[in-house]
Structure 1
Amino acid sequence: MLKPVLALAALALAGPSLAQTAAPAPSPADAVDADWRTIPDDELLVMTLRGGHQVFIRLAPRYAPAHVANIRKLAEAHWWDGTSVYRLQDNYVAQWGGGDDKTVLPPTVIANPPAEYEWSRYDGVTTLAKPNSYAAKTGHSADGWPLASDGKSAWLTHCYGMVGVARDMAPSTGSGAELYAVIGHAPRPLDRNIALVGRVVEGIQWLSSLPRGTADLGVYATPPERTPILSVRLASQLPEDERPHFQYRATDNARFAAWLKGRENRTPPFFTVPAGGVDVCNAQAPIRRRPA
């Protein structure tokens, strides 16, 4: 056993060595500052529920311009204030808005915009290693949206947290007054049948943890079961010092490609059998709060 003085000396010598231990080398899949791009204020929807809980939704105006234009007008008119989350179907969707019979839309809102379910050009910058049952090709846009294509057209995919426009039977396309968020296993058969307009980037737990509705399709049987919506605003409507700021991770670079490869081939010690591929809904581009 070391004598006390010798032991202290040994610790003193060991201290600098421990303090100087090198940090782990960065992974080729790690993002750099330039990979993070700020979401514009007018592409971020802030929904405040009872209790002050907030759900933040990134909008996708490039893929659904007419529906997003309606959503912006509805937010600017404070249309959703006083409505509610009126449907919660297990392993499927949480739905809110006009289910409160608040059906008179602002005059500039188009009741049935063009069907923005798909478009002719696949503008993805990544392609996943394996196709899936719903599309010949899946990947990501440069700004992080999950995409699919059959070689003729392209579309956004119904992944967890994606936000769509509820509608009646065709030819209805939905105004955007009623929206839903996917809260379960990706319901990909909805792809190309309904307009996707965004993605919940924070606060999905305030929707997914709500009690399940007991009436048909998960609708709440009585009004007291619904969760009131206090307000819905674009971030651009809020005072500058109250605006939330989020960033998406750009996908058009080697670092994201390495990250994606890691998702497709998970490694030991936990993963002992690599899958050799991944569903696009299990490889959504990361979103983060913008650092202060």
Structure 2
Amino acid sequence: MMKYAPRARFLACLLTLAPSAAVQAQGPALSPAEIVQAAPQSDWIDIPASDLLVMTLAPDAEGKPRRVVIQLLPPPFSQGWVSNIRALAQARWYDGAVINRVQDNYVVQWGDPHAEDAARARPVPATVRPVPRSDYEASLDAVADAMTRTIAADGLADFSESLASEQKEAARIAELAMAGSRTEKAPNGWHERDAFAPWVEIRQGWPLASDGEHMWPVHCYATVGVGRGMAPDTGTGAELYAVIGHAPRHLDRNVAVVGRVIEGIEQLSTLPRGTGPLGFYEREAQQVPILSIRTASDLPAREQPSFQYLSTESESFARYVNTRANRSDPFFEVPAGGADVCSMPVPTRRKP
């Protein structure tokens, strides 16, 4: 579930942040990793086990186990595909699937090795449904409604104040995006448009973009999306990919984003590159078998991974972003003075 902290809202994109006097007065500059390490426990938010997918690959050539943990997107984004993925995992449909495509500086893709052969392709569960193209994005009203439900579920005492703040902010984002504003001064820094959307931000732990009427999740390194054929096909979730290269933002709103890898991305990014078109493996022997994909909540309690992410509405995250945009720890001589939305990966960790 997404947590909500309206008073410490941090919206991010091309950030041109100036270090505050308070930060400068704290002594030797900390690195982003040191800021994250020093964040208090209260700044960390638990990720529900039901929002985690655990993918177990066949052991590597040395017999070492390989596991990848994926965090699924929360409402209101991509929920048709997320529901399909949960159904496929619960039906054990992914067991025996393979990684069949590894394209350098782009994506790793997996699914049914016989998907293109109607006689051999495995049928998907009856509960797996087509998802309309319109679900690549969500209206600002839907985003506000999801926030409302989260606020209510969290039982915040200042519910009405929080909701009013959320509605006011949504209206402000819409105004900025539709006016094509490039900068706006806000409590935690400067916010600008980026090359792919009128407005981008990091909200409730996820990088998002907006055109003033809708919001959508964006493609960054380790993003997980849904493979599809030519439109109007939108994919079901039976074919998935993870980004292992420079953020392919041109895919935003063209394919569904459903989550991100939070542990084990190296198990995917170090795989041999495919030599066929688009990085597909040309021989079945090159494909990497997938032993299983399960939601963590379906695993025995002792096997369930437990993760947290750093609240993007916290002061710790604001300092982390400021420092990434203005590196002044000893190695750096010239601060960049900015960073794009995909240069601010939301820190995650195993729960202590």
Instruction: Output the CA distance in 2 between the equivalents of 1:258 and 1:227.
Output: 40
Change (3 A) 1:28 1:74: closer
> Conserved in 2, the CA contact under 8 Å of 1:115 and 1:195?
no
- Secondary structure (helix, strand or coil) at the match of 2:83 reads helix
Amino acid at match of 1:177: A
> Conserved in 2, the CA contact under 8 Å of 1:128 and 1:137?
no
Q: Which runs of 5+ in 1 are unaligned?
A: 1-23
Instruction: Please state how far the C-alpha of 1:271 moved relative to its aligned partner.
Output: 2.1
Counting matched residue pairs gives 267
1:71 aligns with 2:85: yes
Between Structure 1 and Structure 2, which shows a larger proportion of helix residues?
2
- Secondary structure (helix, strand or coil) at the match of 2:258 reads strand
2:339 counterpart (256, 261, 278): 278
> Conserved in 2, the CA contact under 8 Å of 1:165 and 1:196?
yes
Q: Report the equivalent of 1:33.
A: 41
Instruction: Please state how far the C-alpha of 1:25 moved relative to its aligned partner.
Output: 11
1:59 aligns with 2:58: no
Instruction: Please state how far the C-alpha of 1:218 moved relative to its aligned partner.
Output: 0.5
Instruction: Output the CA distance in 2 between the equivalents of 1:184 and 1:250.
Output: 25
- Secondary structure (helix, strand or coil) at the match of 1:56 reads strand
1:261 counterpart (295, 298, 322): 322
1:93 aligns with 2:154: no
> Conserved in 2, the CA contact under 8 Å of 1:86 and 1:219?
yes
Change (3 A) 1:226 1:128: farther
Instruction: Output the CA distance in 2 between the equivalents of 1:66 and 1:245.
Output: 25
1:4-15 to structure 2, matched below 5 A, reads none
Instruction: Output the CA distance in 1 between the equivalents of 2:134 and 2:56.
Output: 29
Amino acid at match of 1:88: V
> Conserved in 1, the CA contact under 8 Å of 2:225 and 2:241?
yes
> Conserved in 1, the CA contact under 8 Å of 2:29 and 2:329?
no
> Conserved in 1, the CA contact under 8 Å of 2:225 and 2:259?
yes
Larger mean Cα displacement after TM superposition, 188-197 or 253-262 = 253-262
- Secondary structure (helix, strand or coil) at the match of 1:129 reads strand
1:129 aligns with 2:191: yes
Instruction: Please state how far the C-alpha of 1:79 moved relative to its aligned partner.
Output: 0.3
Q: Which runs of 5+ in 2 are unaligned?
A: 1-27, 60-64, 116-120, 145-165, 170-187
Change (3 A) 1:90 1:260: same
Amino acid at match of 2:111: G
- Structure 1 residues 193-244: Cα deviation after superposition (integer angstroms, max 9, x where no partner): 1110000000011111111111111110011100000001000110111101
Q: Report the equivalent of 1:107.
A: 126
> Conserved in 1, the CA contact under 8 Å of 2:73 and 2:82?
yes
- Structure 1 residues 116-138: Cα deviation after superposition (integer angstroms, max 9, x where no partner): 21122277998863432112222
1:104-253 to structure 2, matched below 5 A, reads 104-113=123-132, 115-121=134-140, 129-142=191-204, 144-253=205-314
Instruction: Output the CA distance in 2 between the equivalents of 1:37 and 1:256.
Output: 12
- Secondary structure (helix, strand or coil) at the match of 1:70 reads helix
> Conserved in 2, the CA contact under 8 Å of 1:89 and 1:212?
yes
**What RMSD, in angstroms, separates the aligned Cα atoms of the two structures?**
2.2
> Conserved in 2, the CA contact under 8 Å of 1:128 and 1:278?
no
Instruction: Please state how far the C-alpha of 1:171 moved relative to its aligned partner.
Output: 1.0
- Structure 1 residues 37-83: Cα deviation after superposition (integer angstroms, max 9, x where no partner): 11111100000001130000000131111110000000000001011
Instruction: Output the CA distance in 2 between the equivalents of 1:61 and 1:116.
Output: 13
- Secondary structure (helix, strand or coil) at the match of 2:88 reads helix
- Secondary structure (helix, strand or coil) at the match of 1:256 reads helix
> Conserved in 1, the CA contact under 8 Å of 2:80 and 2:131?
no
Instruction: Output the CA distance in 1 between the equivalents of 2:299 and 2:271.
Output: 27
> Which of the two has higher C-alpha Rg?
1
